[in-house]
Amino acid sequence: MSVQYQSEETPEYLAVRFIGATREVYEQIELIAEHCERASKNKLLLDITDTHGEFSLVERFWLGDKAETLKFHHLIKVAVVSRPEQLDRNKFGEMVARNRRLNARAFTNVRAAEKWLLLKPAARRTRSPRAIIIPQNLADYTHH
């Protein structure tokens, strides 16, 4: 059985729910990334709770490696929701995606994933400018 998906556009992100074979999810990422770009969405929720089967370690790598495709289509945040038994306790796929500079996280709860997606990024701290004191008369600061 192949994988199928249903998508729903929310005001803030695109939600995609997969049904079918887990191992075929990563094959659909390019189409989903293109959908996000056409819909002007830069956040994505992938729900794989209704899929069956497991990801092998290689397939987890491939899924995480698709982060480059997602970044190319201007996605900045991706949440993946799975059943607890589907989740790799080491979060290998998440680590691969983050190594490709995609802000990605795995969840076992849709509400937690939505909450994380909607979080606004923390304001960057800026350093206060440092004062440079220039003496009026350099002769006062020279040693004789």
Of 46-55, 73-82, 118-127, minimum mean pLDDT range: 118-127
Flag whether 93 is in a domain: yes
* Percent of residues, the chain, with pLDDT higher than 90: 43
Given a cut of 60, whether residue 1 has pLDDT beyond it is no
For residue 134, what pLDDT is reported?
A: 64
Question: Could you tell me which residues are beta bridge partners of residue 8?
Answer: 15
Please tell me the distance from the alpha carbon of residue 113 to that of residue 111, in angstroms, as a whole number: 5
Q: In the chain, how many domains are there? A: 1
Flag whether 143 is in a domain: no
Flag whether 129 is in a domain: no
Query: pTM for the full model?
Result: 0.78
Please tell me the distance from the alpha carbon of residue 104 to that of residue 117, in angstroms, as a whole number: 10
Closest among 75, 81, 142 to 110, alpha carbons compared: 81
